Structure formats: C-alpha cells, structure tokens
Amino acid sequence: MKRLIIICEGQTEQEFCKTILTPFLAQKSIFIQAPLIKKSMGGIVRWSELKKQITLHLKEDESAYVTCLIDYYGLYSKHDFPKWNEAENEPDKNKRMEILEQGMKESIDESIRFRFIPYLQLHEFEGLLFNDINVFFQQIPANELKGMDELKQIFSQYDNPEMINNNKNKSPSHRLKRIINGYNKIVYGNIIAEAIGLEKMRYKSPRFNHWVHLLENI
C-alpha cells in the first residue's frame, strides 16, 4: 500500500479527497491523507509556508508522495510562488500553470522532489462542478435554483470547466452563489461532485485528469 498526502486548500477540497479520491485510489493500493494547509487551516498562504509543510511531509515518511489541491484563483504576487512573474506574462493559462508548477517542484530539495507532485487547480475547484447541467436539475431542488439563465449560459460558453473565469464576479464559486440559493460550498460541492463522478470530471477537465493520472501511477 502506497501513501499519498494531498495538502488541501480548504474543507471543500478535503471532503472531495475523502469522498471521491480515497475510494478510487484505494482500488489501486494507494492510501491517501488529506490535511489542510497547516498555517491557515484553510486558505492559501505564502509559498514559503506551504513549502515547509510539503518538505515536512516528504521528510517524515521517505516512501510517501505529496501533492496539493489548491486553486489558482486567489493566488497573487504577495504569496511569492516561484516563477510568478514569468507565469503571469504567459497568456496561455495551461502553460501558465505549468510554469508555476515547475517552479514549485524546483523549489523543493533535489533529494526529495521526485516524490512531490505540484498541482494548481485552474481556475478553482468549484469549476469542476460545472460538468453536467442535468446534475444540477437532479440534485438541487427547483426552488433553490435561482440562476437558471446564468447556469445555461455557462454550459453553452465553456466546454472545459477549467476555463471558467477567475475574476471576483465570474469565478466558479461566485457563480454558484448566484445560481443556488443558500449555497454552501462544502455541502453542495460534495453533493454535486458525487453525482457527477470522477470519470466524468476527468473527461471534461484535462488538467485535472492529468493530475489524477499522475496520482494513480505513483
């Protein structure tokens, strides 16, 4: 049984790891733990703090692999992630993530970095929930779906949920708050994610799919 530690930005990501990724990876003899970012206990921190936690996990167990599930949305220059300026000058969002992830990997000590799998969710974990519009109709009571027009517009505009914008008004989480009355990200995120299923999530979100592929093949 291999051990994989997934450092989660918040409780929504943590629940996703426990509910969706744990049973999937268990079938491949991979046991996962999903701690929150220690410094904040939920919420992004400076790279120096995240690096400390990554390094600690890698050194505590010399056979364990470490990755992270954190959003690109909400990251700013003040967080001092490696290669930030180079990445921000890259217009292609996928290439931008690759630059940042490469910087994260290279920042970890060379002797242990081979067990670190850097990952930034483009743009936000909640984007993965915009996978199948029928899931919203099936799982959310009709009287709670108050943003039907916006919901339909999102699905007609974005084939890849990872490309849903990252500004404050158009980020996936802000859209969900407008679409679902009384939206609770942990509760609804888990309900929608379970209803979609990992296979369908992977099919529509290529960066996420690649990450899961790396995890299942450690």
pLDDT digits (tens, 9 = 90+) for 151-206: 999 999 999 999 998 667 788 989 999 999 989 888 888 899 999 999 999 999 99
pLDDT of amino acid 170:
82
CA 169 to chain CA centroid, Å, is 19
Q: What is the pLDDT of residues 128-144, one digit of tens each?
A: 999 999 999 999 998 99
Name residue 197's amino acid.
Answer: G
What is the b/e burial string over 10-28, where b = at least 16 CB atoms within 10 angstroms of the residue's CB?
Answer: bebbbbbbbebbbebbeee
pLDDT of amino acid 166:
60
Does the N-terminal peptide bond of residue 79 adopt cis geometry, omega within 30 degrees of 0? Answer: no
Using the predicted structure, report yes or no on whether residue 9 has a pLDDT greater than 80: yes
pLDDT (average), residues 33-50:
90
pLDDT of amino acid 200:
95
pTM of the full predicted structure? Answer: 0.93
pLDDT (average), residues 67-82:
95
**d(Cα 149, Cα 160) in Å, to the nearest integer?**
19
